[in-house]
């Protein structure tokens, strides 16, 4: 199975490069499944139904969220009728939407996608490790699903790495989101789980984590807010991760970074040609 995960889409620039590149990526690499983190897609804060539909129509199979999941209030409603849009599974009981879903691709393969949020330097949430353990027990790799992917939306690399080792050999991929900077630690762990601390953002890197530089600089240097954060609108880089998954075991065989366009050095998965 050829799977691609695309990191946090930030604002109009991020949406534009995703919509431009995703259909071609699916065709060029024969992708079997694509996951996109869309929690910053609407002006940097949350996602709207129109944007969600746009991503799905462009070739995304599933969209994950994070701490900005409900910044656009309409998400509280439409997430209930959109099974391919996931918010963190460890939100409190009664939160609209779902934190995991089993999605079948065109080949009939069953991919379990789970969105979970970290707790270090983040809002108080239920235990992400317990939430993941429950989902693994309910839908084990190789029995309940053919691939199992976790988007861990978290601030610290330590929490992300700990989660990866906690589930190594039991899921296909643990990929970090939220910090918006692609890390160089992409690897297949000893048990066969692919991992990267952060997939990076899909947005303009001539910015402060995707936001226009003026307001963050004002707040850092003067401690006085001058307005709201606005996404940077320059040429964006699409950042993500390519994973080849064994059809027999559901574990990862190969993993490589994806970076297209914008200011960062390009990277494409050589093992797919």
Task: pLDDT band for 115, please (50, 70, 90 cuts).
Answer: very high
Domain carrying residue 122: 2-272
What average pLDDT does the chain have?
96
The whole-angstrom separation of Cα 63 and Cα 5 is 10
Look at residue 239 in the predicted model and tell me its pLDDT: 98
pLDDT tens, position by position, 117-174: 999 999 889 999 999 999 999 999 999 999 999 999 999 999 999 999 999 999 999 9
Return all residues near 186 (Cβ < 8 A) that are at least 6 apart.
194, 195, 196, 241, 255, 256, 257
Residues with a known catalytic role: 68
Return all residues near 89 (Cβ < 8 A) that are at least 6 apart.
98, 99, 100, 114, 115, 116, 128, 131, 132, 135
Percent of residues, the chain, with pLDDT higher than 70: 100
Q: Which two three-digit tokens encode residue 99? A: 């934190």
Domains of the chain: total? 1
Report whether pLDDT(224) > 90. no
No. of helices (H) and no. of strands (E), the chain: 6, 12
Task: pLDDT band for 227, please (50, 70, 90 cuts).
Answer: confident
Report whether pLDDT(273) > 90. no
Mean pLDDT score, 245-258: 98
Q: Write out the H or E segment, with its range, that includes residue 2.
A: strand 2-6
pLDDT tens, position by position, 17-47: 999 999 999 999 999 999 999 999 999 999 9
Which CATH number is 256's domain given? 3.60.21.10
Task: pLDDT band for 225, please (50, 70, 90 cuts).
Answer: confident
Whole-model pTM: value is 0.96
Phi, psi at 142, each rounded to 5°: 90, -20
Look at residue 47 in the predicted model and tell me its pLDDT: 98
Look at residue 129 in the predicted model and tell me its pLDDT: 98
Look at residue 43 in the predicted model and tell me its pLDDT: 93
Phi, psi at 252, each rounded to 5°: -80, 140
């Amino acid at each position: 199975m050829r799977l691609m995960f695309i990191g946090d889409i930030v604002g109009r620039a991020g949406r534009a490069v995703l919509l431009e590149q995703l259909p071609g990526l699916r065709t060029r690499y024969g992708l079997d499944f694509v996951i996109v983190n869309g929690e910053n897609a609407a002006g940097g804060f949350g996602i709207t139904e129109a944007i969600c539909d746009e991503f799905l129509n462009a070739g995304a199979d599933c969209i994950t969220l994070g701490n900005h999941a409900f910044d656009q209030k309409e998400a509280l409603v439409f997430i209930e009728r959109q099974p391919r849009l996931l918010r963190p599974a460890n939100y409190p009981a009664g939160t609209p939407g779902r934190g995991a879903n089993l999605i079948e691709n065109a080949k009939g393969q069953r991919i379990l996608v789970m969105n979970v949020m970290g707790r270090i330097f983040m809002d108080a949430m239920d235990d992400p490790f317990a939430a993941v353990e429950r989902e693994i027990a309910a839908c084990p790799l190789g029995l309940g699903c053919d691939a199992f992917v976790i988007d861990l939306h978290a601030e610290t690399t330590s929490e992300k790495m700990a989660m990866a080792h906690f589930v190594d050999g039991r899921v296909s991929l643990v990929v970090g989101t939220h910090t918006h900077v692609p890390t160089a630690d992409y690897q297949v762990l000893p048990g066969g789980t692919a991992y990267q601390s952060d997939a990076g953002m899909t947005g303009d890197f001539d910015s402060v984590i995707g936001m226009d530089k003026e307001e963050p600089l004002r707040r850092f240097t003067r401690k006085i807010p001058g307005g709201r954060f606005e996404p940077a609108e320059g040429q964006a880089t699409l950042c993500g991760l390519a994973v080849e998954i064994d059809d027999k075991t559901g574990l990862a065989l190969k993993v490589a970074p994806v970076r297209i366009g914008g200011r960062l050095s390009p990277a494409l998965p050589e093992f797919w040609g």
